[in-house]
Each structure stands twice: as structure tokens, then as C-alpha cells.
Amino acid sequence: MSLIEIKDLNIHYPIRSGFFNRITDYVYAVDGINFDIEEGETYGLIGESGSGKSTTGKAIVGLEKVTSGQILYNGQDVTNRHERKKIKYNKDVQMIFQDSMSSLNPRKRIEDIIAEPIRNFESMTDTEERDRVKELLDIVGMPSDSIYKYPHEFSGGQRQRIGVARAVATHPKLIVADEPVSALDLSVQAQVLNFMKQIQKEFNISYLFISHDLGVVKHMCRNLAIMHRGRLVEVGTREDIYNNPQHIYTKRLLAAIPKVNPSGREADKAHRREVEREFQDHQDKWYDKDGKVFPLQQITATHSVALPPDEVTQIKSEVG
Amino acid sequence: MDTSDELLLDIQHLHTAFRVHDHFYDAVDDISLTLHKNEILALVGESGSGKSTLATSIIGLHNPRNTKVTGDIMYNELNLVGLNEALFNRIRGNDIGMIFQDPLSALNPLMRIGEQIAESLVYHTKLNEKEREARVLQLLEQVGIPDPPLTAHQYPHELSGGMRQRVMIAIAIACKPPIIIADEPTTALDVTIQAQILDLLEDIQKEIGSGILLITHDLGVVAETADTVAVMYSGQIVEQGSVYQVFEHPLHPYTRSLLRSMPQADSDDEELHVIQGTVPSLVNMQRTGDRFAPRIPWMPASSHEEHPVLHEVEPGHLVRCTCYKTFYFPDEKEAAAAGAPQNANEGE
Ligand SMILES: Nc1ncnc2c1ncn2[C@@H]1O[C@H](COP(=O)(O)OP(=O)(O)OP(=O)(O)O)[C@@H](O)[C@H]1O
Ligand SMILES: Nc1ncnc2c1ncn2[C@@H]1O[C@H](COP(=O)(O)OP(=O)(O)OP(=O)(O)O)[C@@H](O)[C@H]1O
Ligand SMILES: [Mg+2]
Ligand SMILES: [Mg+2]
């Protein structure tokens, strides 16, 4: 049994229009996805903007209403609010938000921001609480006098670390980290990533690590899923995805990463253009007649790809 | 780029100071740079190093009450420093196109995309309304907007981030300016769109021969697109050279530290390198000695120059301070003690 099991998750937003404001269509933000997160592991979720990553993450922490499907936590169904409440799920599962500035209340002091989840789930005296907040600030490498300050008095990296401190305040089992370092400088990014790894070892935390930076994901995650148009196009270990990508969309994503190697750049660009051309020319082969991603097909014990039905046997025989 | 290419911008000893509590502090501190036709010059450095300040000094977007700009920014015999606003208005858009980091805040939310692009054509060209309309559609097409007539009638909020950035580029190139300044043009975008935008910038450059000042903190983007690179720290250039010199033979401790803090695709569970301390704020910035010295405290004071200057270690490759000659990372020390070759005297 995994820590988290996502089973055929669907989140559809209604589109309303016309005089009666009737529902005329749906945005299939998340359109039937399955994956598991093991205890203590970092699972990567990658995809272009609008592919449904944040919606998936928010559904897991209970911030987004699930249209259909199931979320299991240690085998228990936590898809709806009553079930989550019963087992204090919201204490165990926290989120670091994509945009640290808008997710920290500008009118609250850092002390209150970090203490908020503690107040929701634990009963502590004021001194206990303050000690805990200072300890958390220390864990994320911030001075203890930060508690009296407001979010705007900190840099982006510091705010992101405050977001991390708040997320770990209740000793969660899982943290959904939505683009936790995308807005940060290299050096601060390194600091936050090292720190996330360190507390993971210390407290055996699992992460769902959402990002569009494939270099960062490669550094952080052993298993990952590539998401496109609300579905998963490819799932596998780091090696499966980076060394043996099968879906054209995955290949395109990998080819687009700029490399720190100026002397190889003409070759890299040529390769990128070639993949792009293949993507443009053969898109219809890789998506069904409605432009949807095909269902995932398992090609090895760890590696699944959303292959067109007639490709499956061929690729299986090549890979297997 | 070709070394014989025409000089577009010649920046000499530029200082840009902001007023904070009645004192002026240099956010750009004695920077000299040149930009040629067909050149992509990348400006890199962490947040707060002064990159945007340099860009906005070139296009004269600072409030003169709280900002002091001194030095020279020569553009065709014209010094942009201290230029009057009327002349600057003619230069902005026409001679220098600007692409901002955040297209949503740079675009007017209440104006249709088509009108926003046409606006600069009204100002800088003699095209009539019909010709302007045609040019707007042509520009939208050129930046890869799939349905130009539709997008021309839309408002910024109806477009995705990648589309908005394309619109910004369309506005920036509307008058085919010889100089384009792109401040973090792809930071908010994902990699596939980033790749398209960078290709687009390169295509445009080939077509109109502009010189591009590309500001970014993504070293991969720099390595893929730039001809020349300037690395900034605390308002100064600490290393400068061709993209090959800076990436294949980085010398300054700051450049080497930045490269080391990148998640390396092929190294596994290792800890990432972290530069000690933080980028100082404008007011707390150290003004004497080597400004990067506090971030590499293991290096002896004697390794730094008292007044660090840029040294030309090979033609075109400049490095500030002499500390690069003996610089090492703490974890290299054991290797050095064991007799392994160290980085000393590199580049000499
Ligand atoms: N509240 C909502 N109502 C309607 N549509 C929505 C809503 N929230 C998200 N969407 C749509 O659902 C899709 C998925 O959005 P989501 O925010 O999950 O993408 P993402 O992968 O996190 O993208 P990004 O990388 O830009 O953060 C998008 O098409 C988005 O426009
Ligand atoms: N109008 C202003 N008044 C006072 N200080 C300013 C002003 N604008 C910028 N600064 C300060 O000047 C320094 C340089 O800022 P600048 O925006 O140029 O950095 P940057 O390199 O562009 O950073 P980023 O990568 O975050 O965009 C910073 O310390 C910043 O806080
Ligand atoms: Mg998102
Ligand atoms: Mg800037």
C-alpha cells in the first residue's frame, strides 16, 4: 500500500455562457489520472503551463473539489471532506504554494503565518507555540526576530522558506510543493532544495514535487509523471524518462531544456528543431481524434507511456 | 556576431544611484559595456545585482527626483544620459525596443492587443490606419500568434503567458529598432515556450540585425543564445567575455559558484552548492574592497586586491580582482592538500 494513491482522478470546471448562464462545456483540467506516492519519496509532476499540475496538487490537499475518482491515504478514502476530517488528514498533508507572495497574508506577522496550522491542529500554550515557531524558523535558516516582521520585508527566497516552515509546522507526512523554487535565484534555489531534502530525511516526509524545470525535477525525484492536457503522457523512473523517453511530448520537453554547454549549442538547437518538427507533423498519431492523450500502456515494470494503440506491441518488443 | 559589426551602444562609467532616506546609493556602480549590431549580450547575476537598473537607465525610465544617473551611454553621437524627455520619447520604441519581465503588468489591461501594437506605429511611423492594421497583423503573425485577426481583438487577460510575451515582442519590434532590451523575457514561461521565444528573438535579430541586451538569471539560456556575457554582482561587472570564455573557462569565484549551484543533470543525490550569506541590499552593500569577499570567507584577505579592478586575462575576457588566481572551494582543499592540481594561476 502506498502513502497516497490517486485513482482515475477527474476535475472538470464548468464553462457557462449564454443568457441563462447555463453550463455549455467543461474544462477537463484533470482528466483521469492515476499515480502513487510512496512514503518518504519525492514524486515529480511535470508539464507545461495549464496542463493541470496545480489542480492535481490542490485536489490532493483538499482545496479543489474532485469531479470523480478517488484519493486514498494509507488505503483510506479521503476524497471528500468528512472523511478527511475524521482522520486529521489536513494536518498530515500540507502545501507549499507556487506564488509565495500571494499565498502569505500580507497583513499578518510571520509568527501568525507560521503558527496558523499549529493553531488549527494542536493545542499549545503561547510560549510553547512561540518556541515551536522559532524552532521552525531555525530549521529553515531564518533569524528568530523574523517573527515580528511582515512578508513584504523579506526577499523571495526568504518568503519561500517561510512557506516551507509553515508547511512543516504540523509534522506532515506529505507536502505538495507547487513550483517551490521557480521564482528563486540559483543559490537560493540550491538552499531551499537542499533543505527540503534534509527535512525529508529527518522526518521521512513525502513530496509531490510540481515543476516545469526538468533539471530540478531530475535532481529531486526518483519517480515522475509527465502531464499534458489533463492526462499523463509518460510515467516512470528518472532513468526511464530522461534516458529512454518514448512519447513525443516527453522528447519535446527534454529537447527544450537549455544546456550549459555553448560549444554544443548548434547541435542542441538542431536536435530541438527536429523534435519540434516531428511533434508538429505527427501530432495526430500521438493523440486521439479529439486531441486527447491516449491511455497509459505499461512497457516495462516501471515505465508506462500513452502510446497509440497500434504502437504498443512494437515498442514493448523493442524495450522489453 | 562579427567584431567588425557596427557599435550601437557604448556605455562608459555608468553610475545609477537611488535615493534611500536622503542618501544616494549606487545600484549600478561604474559599468562599462558595448553592444554591437547582431550581438546578443547577456547580463546575468542574482536578484538585486542591478541588471534591471542598468536596462532602465539605458531607456531613461528612472524618476530623476530619486535617481542620479552619471557617466555616458552613447548611441550614435547622442548621449542618453541626461537626454531630455522629448528626445527620449522618440528613441523609445523607435530605436530601442523593450521587452519586460512581466508582460501582464506592462500591457494595458483595458486596451485591445491590436490597438496596443498600433499605438507605437502611430507615434513613430507615418503609416495610415489601414497600413497600420496590416502591419499589426503581420507582426502578430511574425511572432507566431496562430490567429492574428482574433488576437488583435482580444484583451491581455484573454491570452496565455506565452501569447502575452509574444505580443510584448511584437510591440518591441514594431518599429524594427536597432537595439532590443529583453529583461527576463522567458522567466515566467515553461521550457517549450521559452525555446520558441528564444528562437523567435534570434530569428528577428537575423532579420533586422538588432543588437540584443538579454537579461536573465538562467545560465542555460545564456549558454544557448548569447555571444557575449557580463556577470554582475552588487552593481559591478565581475566577469565578462565571450560565451565560450565565460562558460568553458569561468574564472571569477562568483561565476564559478553560480555554475556549481546548478542542479547538474548527471549528478545524483548530492547536495547542491550554496553560496554562503546573501546578496546585500542596496544600503548595506559593501563599497570598498572585493564585494564578493564576504561570500567566500575562507579565502585570505591577502588574496583580494585592495581596490579590485577588471583584469584582461585574455583578449576580451575580463575578471575583477586577483583572488581568482588562488580561489578554491572548501571541499577542494583536501584534494589540493593531497597534491592534486589546484586552480591557481589559471588563465595566465
Ligand atoms: N477555477 C478554474 N476555473 C476554470 N478553469 C480553471 C480553473 N482553475 C484552473 N483552470 C484551468 O484548468 C487548467 C489547468 O490549470 P492548472 O492551474 O492546474 O495548470 P498548471 O499545470 O498548474 O499550470 P502552470 O504551470 O501555469 O501553473 C488550465 O486550462 C486552467 O485554465
Ligand atoms: N527605485 C528604486 N529605489 C531604491 N532602490 C532600488 C530601486 N530600484 C531598484 N533598487 C535596488 O537596487 C538594487 C538593484 O535592483 P535591480 O532591480 O536592478 O536588480 P536586478 O538585478 O534586476 O534583480 P532581479 O533579478 O530581482 O530583477 C536592488 O538592491 C534594489 O533593491
Ligand atoms: Mg500551476
Ligand atoms: Mg530585474
**pLDDT computed for residue B345 by the predictor:** 46
pLDDT digits 0-9 by tens, B272-323:
888 888 778 888 888 889 999 999 999 999 999 999 999 999 999 999 999 9
Q: Which of A194, A218, A257 sits opposite B272 (nearest CB)?
A: A194
**pLDDT computed for residue B346 by the predictor:** 42
* Residue A40 in contact with partner chain B when CB distance is under 8 A: no
Q: Which of A190, A215, A257 sits opposite B273 (nearest CB)?
A: A190
| Beta partners for residue B78, in sequence order | B75
**pLDDT computed for residue B347 by the predictor:** 41
Assign B63 a pLDDT band (cuts: 50, 70, 90).
confident
Distance B42 CA to ligand 4 centre (A): 13
- B229, closest residue in chain A (CA to CA): A262
**pLDDT computed for residue B131 by the predictor:** 94
Whether A27 lines ligand 1, by a CB cut-off of 6 Å, is yes
**pLDDT computed for residue A65 by the predictor:** 92
pLDDT digits 0-9 by tens, B104-133:
778 899 999 999 999 889 888 889 999 999
pLDDT digits 0-9 by tens, B222-259:
999 999 999 999 999 999 999 999 999 999 999 999 99
* pLDDT value at B335 more than 70: no
Averaged pLDDT score across all residues of chain B:
89
Architecture of the domain whose range is A4-243: 3-Layer(aba) Sandwich (3.40)
Question: How far away is chain A from the Cα of B291, in angstroms, using its nearest Cα?
Answer: 17
| Beta partners for residue B75, in sequence order | B78
- Beta carbons of B248 and A258 less than 8 Å apart: no
Count other Cβ atoms within 10 Å, centred on residue B207: 11
Q: Which of B51, B61, B100, B286 to mutate to test the pocket of ligand 2 (most atoms within 8 A of CB)?
A: B51
For residue B265, list chain A residues with Cβ-Cβ distance below 8 A: 215, 218, 242
- Beta carbons of A190 and B278 less than 8 Å apart: no
**pLDDT computed for residue A314 by the predictor:** 66
Q: Which of B101, B165, B190 to mutate to test the interface with A (most CBs of A within 10 A)?
A: B190
- A270, closest residue in chain B (CA to CA): B199
- Beta carbons of A49 and B195 less than 8 Å apart: no
* pLDDT value at B3 more than 60: no
Domain limits of chain A? 4-243, 244-320
For residue B264, list chain A residues with Cβ-Cβ distance below 8 A: 219
- Beta carbons of B274 and A191 less than 8 Å apart: yes
Assign B344 a pLDDT band (cuts: 50, 70, 90).
very low
Which H or E run contains B203? Answer: helix B191-208
* Residue A319 in contact with partner chain B when CB distance is under 8 A: no
**pLDDT computed for residue B348 by the predictor:** 36
* pLDDT value at B50 more than 60: yes
* pLDDT value at B44 more than 90: yes
* Residue A201 in contact with partner chain B when CB distance is under 8 A: no
Distance B161 CA to ligand 4 centre (A): 18
- B270, closest residue in chain A (CA to CA): A219
Whether A106 lines ligand 1, by a CB cut-off of 6 Å, is no
* pLDDT value at B57 more than 50: yes
Domain limits of chain B? 7-232, 234-264+272-338
* Residue A274 in contact with partner chain B when CB distance is under 8 A: no
Whether A52 lines ligand 1, by a CB cut-off of 6 Å, is yes
Q: Which of B243, B244, B261 sits opposite A187 (nearest CB)?
A: B261
**pLDDT computed for residue A246 by the predictor:** 95
Separation in Å, CA A107 to CA A113, A148, A151: 10, 12, 8
pLDDT digits 0-9 by tens, B177-208:
999 999 988 877 778 888 888 888 888 888 88
Question: How is residue B92 annotated by DSSP?
Answer: B
* Cβ neighbours of residue A55 closer than 8 Å, sequence gap 6 or more: A11, A29, A30, A64
CA distance A71 to A59: 9
Q: Which of A98, A146, A185 to mutate to test the interface with B (most CBs of B within 10 A)?
A: A185
Whether B50 lines ligand 2, by a CB cut-off of 6 Å, is yes
The one-digit pLDDT tens for each residue of chain A (320 residues) are 899 999 999 999 988 777 777 888 888 999 999 999 999 999 999 998 889 999 999 999 999 999 999 999 999 999 989 999 888 898 899 999 876 667 788 899 999 999 998 888 888 899 999 999 998 888 777 888 889 999 888 877 788 888 888 988 888 999 999 988 877 788 888 888 988 898 899 889 999 999 988 889 999 999 999 999 999 999 999 999 999 999 999 999 999 989 899 999 999 999 999 999 999 898 889 999 888 999 999 999 999 999 988 766 666 666 65
Task: Please provide the CATH number assigned to the domain covering B7-232.
Answer: 3.40.50.300
Q: Which of A156, A214, A260 sits opposite B259 (nearest CB)?
A: A260
Atom of ligand 2 nearest to the CA of B50: 18
